[in-house]
Amino acid sequence: MQQMYDMVIIGGGPGGIGAAVEAKVLGINSILMIEKGDNHSQTIRKFYKDNKRVDKNYKGQEIELHGNVDFTDGTKESTLNYFDSLLDHDEIDTAFNSEVESVTKVDNEFQIVTTKAGYRAKNVIVAIGTMGKPNKPDYILPISLKERINFNLDKCSQGEKLLLVGGGNSAVEYAIELSKTNNVTLNYRKDTFSRLNDINLKLIHEYNGQEKLRLRLGMDIVSVENENGLVKVNFTDGYYTIYDRVVYAIGGTTPVDFLRKCGITLDAEGKPEFDENFETKMQGLYLAGDIAVKSGGSIAIALNHAYHIISHMLKNKKN
Ligand SMILES: Cc1cc2nc3c(=O)[nH]c(=O)nc-3n(C[C@H](O)[C@H](O)[C@H](O)COP(=O)(O)OP(=O)(O)OC[C@H]3O[C@@H](n4cnc5c(N)ncnc54)[C@H](O)[C@@H]3O)c2cc1C
- CA–centroid distance, residue 213 to ligand 1 (Å): 28
Relative to the CA of 251, which ligand 1 atom is closest? 53
Q: What is the CATH number of domain 4-133+252-318?
A: 3.50.50.60
Whether residue 236 has pLDDT greater than 90: yes
Whether residue 311 has pLDDT greater than 90: yes
What's the distance, CA 139 to chain centroid?
A: 23
- CA–centroid distance, residue 235 to ligand 1 (Å): 31
- CA–centroid distance, residue 131 to ligand 1 (Å): 6
Residue-wise pLDDT for 251-309, tens only, equals 887 888 899 989 999 998 888 999 999 999 999 999 999 999 987 799 999 999 999 99
Cβ(297) to ligand 1 under 6 A?
Answer: yes
Q: What share of the chain in percent tops pLDDT 90? A: 80
Residue whose Cα lies nearest atom 35 of ligand 1: it is: 11
What is the dihedral sign for C-alpha 33, 69, 85, 200? positive
DSSP 62-111: -----SS----SEEHHHHHHHHHHHHHHTT--EE-S--EEEEEEETTEEE
Relative to the CA of 131, which ligand 1 atom is closest? 30
Confidence of residue 184 (pLDDT cuts 50, 70, 90): very high
Cα dist. 57→29, 285, 298 in Å?
Answer: 31, 28, 8
Are residues 19 and 137 in contact, defined by beta-carbon separation less than 8 angstroms? Answer: no
Average pLDDT over residues 159-181: 94
Whether residue 1 has pLDDT greater than 60: no
pLDDT at 30: 94
Residue whose Cα lies nearest atom 19 of ligand 1: it is: 298
Helix axes 14-26, 76-89, angle to 10 degrees: 30
Average pLDDT, the chain: 94
pLDDT at 280: 97
Substitution site in 32, 43, 135 for ligand 1 pocket (most atoms within 8 Å of beta carbon): 43
Relative to the CA of 130, which ligand 1 atom is closest? 30
Relative to the CA of 128, which ligand 1 atom is closest? 34
Average pLDDT over residues 179-193: 96
Please give the class, per CATH, of domain 143-248.
alpha beta
- CA–centroid distance, residue 68 to ligand 1 (Å): 19
- CA–centroid distance, residue 252 to ligand 1 (Å): 10
Residue-wise pLDDT for 118-166, tens only, equals 999 999 999 999 988 889 999 999 999 999 999 988 889 899 999 999 9
pLDDT at 269: 84
What's the distance, CA 221 to chain centroid?
A: 25
Average pLDDT over residues 8-33: 96
pLDDT at 257: 87
pLDDT at 319: 60
Cβ(128) to ligand 1 under 6 A?
Answer: yes
Cβ(34) to ligand 1 under 6 A?
Answer: yes
Substitution site in 83, 128, 258 for ligand 1 pocket (most atoms within 8 Å of beta carbon): 128
Whether residue 187 has pLDDT greater than 80: yes
Q: Do domains 4-133+252-318 and 143-248 have the same CATH topology?
A: yes
Cβ(22) to ligand 1 under 6 A?
Answer: no
pLDDT at 199: 87
Q: What is the dihedral of CA 240, 245, 247, 248, to 10 degrees?
A: 40
Residue-wise pLDDT for 55-84, tens only, equals 999 988 899 999 999 999 999 999 999 999
Cβ(177) to ligand 1 under 6 A?
Answer: no
Whether residue 6 has pLDDT greater than 60: yes
Does residue 34 sit in helix, strand or coil?
Answer: strand
Q: Where are the domains of the chain?
A: 4-133+252-318, 143-248
pLDDT at 254: 81
Whether residue 318 has pLDDT greater than 80: no
